[in-house]
Structure formats: C-alpha cells, structure tokens
Amino acid sequence: MLPIIDSIQVAPGTVSPGGSFTVTVVAHDPDSKSYTLTGNAIDSLGGKTAFSGQVNISDPLTFELTDPSGAGFVITPRANQPGVFDCKAP
C-alpha cells in the first residue's frame, strides 16, 4: 500500500523574498504491523517470570521536497529529522 501523508505544515506560510521557512511532512506506512513477543525467565529452582516486548515492522519512509517551478528555492533536509526541511525563498 502507498505511504500515507498525514500532514504538511509550512511555517510561516508567507515570507518575503529571501525569507526562510520550514516544511514539515508527517507520514506513516499503512503496511506496518505491530507484534508482541513474549518469553519466560526461569531460574535454577524453576521460578518463572514472564516478560513481553512489542516490535513494529514497517518500511522506512524516505522524504523529498522539490521545487518544480525552478524559481530558486533552497531546500535543505534537516539532519536527523526525517520529513523536516529548512527552506529559503528566492
């Protein structure tokens, strides 16, 4: 299934020429699944303690932002923040 874009935020939405703004894209993978794994810890006397953990399996998503107009926007993906782009208007 296609990834789903939950929201796109442009802040501020209006800038002066040369002004800076940030575009934040929030998306998720609808194919992702969550599993709960369970296990037991048993000591030498036979005492048993159950434990569990949850794991999510999903495709890593790749985000891109481009300027199809060719107007000269400078777009820089923010390091370690997928979906966040620091931009500068032409």
**In whole angstroms, what separates CA 83 from the centre of its chain?**
6
What is the number of alpha carbons within 13 Å of residue 58 lying toward its C-beta? 17
x/- mask, other proteins, residues 52-81, rule CB under 8 A, reads -------xxxxxxxxxxx-x-x-x------
x/- mask, other proteins, residues 15-54, rule CB under 8 A, reads xxxxxxxxx-x-x-x-x-----------------------
Q: What are phi and psi of 8, to 5 degrees?
A: -130, 125
Q: How far is the CB of 34 from other proteins (least distance, A)?
A: 17
Token readout for 64 is 């891109």
Q: How far is the CB of 37 from other proteins (least distance, A)?
A: 23
**Which residue in 4, 36, 21 sits closest to 73, CA to CA?**
21
Residues in the site for other proteins, rule: CB under 8 A? 1-5, 8, 10-23, 25, 27, 29, 31, 59-69, 71, 73, 75, 86-87, 89-90
